[in-house]
Structures are given as C-alpha cells and as structure tokens.
Amino acid sequence: MMDPQIHTGDLLLCSGSGWFSKMIQAATASRWSHVALVLRLDAFDRIMLLESVEPIGVRTVPLKQYLENYDQKGNRYPGEMQIMRHRDFEARVHQDRLAALGRFAVDRFGYPYDGQQIAEIAARITLNRMAPDIMDQFPPPLQTNAPQAYICSEYVAACYAQIGLKIPAGTFGFTAPADFAQHEAIDLIKTL
C-alpha cells in the first residue's frame, strides 16, 4: 500500500556517509547530501524516485528500494531520509506543465553523473577552506543551457524549473541538497 502522504513532486532528502557526501555536508553546513524527485504511480501501486546517482547517472528506482533493499542485501539506505514538499508545486502543476516536467525528467534517463562538476565543486570547497578570502576571484562553474550530465541536486532543480519553480544555487555556484532543505517554501512532510 502506497503512503498517501507522499505526492508527485515531493522531494526525498538523504544524509549519506560517503566521502563526497561528507564533503557536501561540511561545505553546505547541512546533513543533506542527496535529493531525488518523487513520482507517484497510483496505477502501478508504486512511488518512484527520479534521481542522479554516482556512478550510474540519471535513473528511476522505487522508494521501496531505499526503505528495504538499498544495497541489494536487504538493508535500508544507511542514513537519515525525509520527504519534503514545495508549497507551490501543486499550484503550478497543470496537466501540460506536469507533462513537460515528466518528458524532461524521463528524456534524461541514462545521462551520466556529472563527474566534471563534482571535481569543480570539490576544488571550490577545498579552495574555500584553504583561502576563503580569494573565493570571489574564482567564478562559479559555468552552467550550460543543455547539460549532458547531472549531479542529483542539479537534476532535480532542472526538473522543477520545467514548471517555473526555481531553487537558487548556493555559495559554491551549484544547487546543493541543502538549498532544497533550506528553501523558504519547502516543508517537511515526514521522516522515513
């Protein structure tokens, strides 16, 4: 039975324990290191997550996998998980806009995880720690209009942009999971 509290457009935020997760958490002063977009498929009795994960890239998996078999050994995701909701999502979603978001999200399945952006982010975080007073001399990484690879938070932000919801980039020039969690219009729905 699907959880009636979880809606299409909700966000799953996760606190990971890998090296890059820890770096993102430290740099953004947040426990969140991953974000995925929820797609509710009532006809199939499934709640799916649209996400970009390293090293796979953009994919979809059932939420149930995070809760019951994340590692293919019968264990749940090894960290905290929360469902959050943007207050304006449902107001902005009409059938045509939801279809545009869906096409955009699905058309990117199989796009690789953005390793180059990860390297740029890691370099900016390291530079900020070593010499924070010179960070203004190094502009954020350039964002192209049509990326061919995504990190999780940039993928979800791009999906939201299809219906006119903007999640601004944070301090290091990229949208991080923390930017979703700290957004004034995004509220906690439940802890998983």
What DSSP line would sit under the chain, residue for residue? Answer: ---TT--TT-EEEE---SHHHHHHHHHHTSS--EEEEEEEEGGGTEEEEEEEETTTEEEEEEHHHHHH-TTSSS---SS-EEEEEETTHHHH--HHHHHHHHHHHHHTTTPPB-HHHHHHHHHHHHHHHH-GGGGGGSPPPPPPSS-SSB-HHHHHHHHHHTTT------TTSS--HHHHHT-TTEEEEEE-
pTM: 0.84
Confidence class of residue 21 from pLDDT cuts 50, 70 and 90? Answer: confident
Rounded mean pLDDT of the chain? 85
Residue 123 pLDDT: 61
Residue 136 pLDDT: 57
Residue 171 pLDDT: 72
Confidence class of residue 119 from pLDDT cuts 50, 70 and 90? Answer: low
Q: What mean pLDDT comes out for the span 10-21? A: 89
Which of the pair, 53 or 174, is modelled with greater confidence? Answer: 53
pLDDT, tens digit, 9 for 90 and up, residues 177-192: 999 999 999 999 999 9
CA dist 126 → 1, 54, 109, 162, 189 (Å): 45, 20, 31, 32, 34
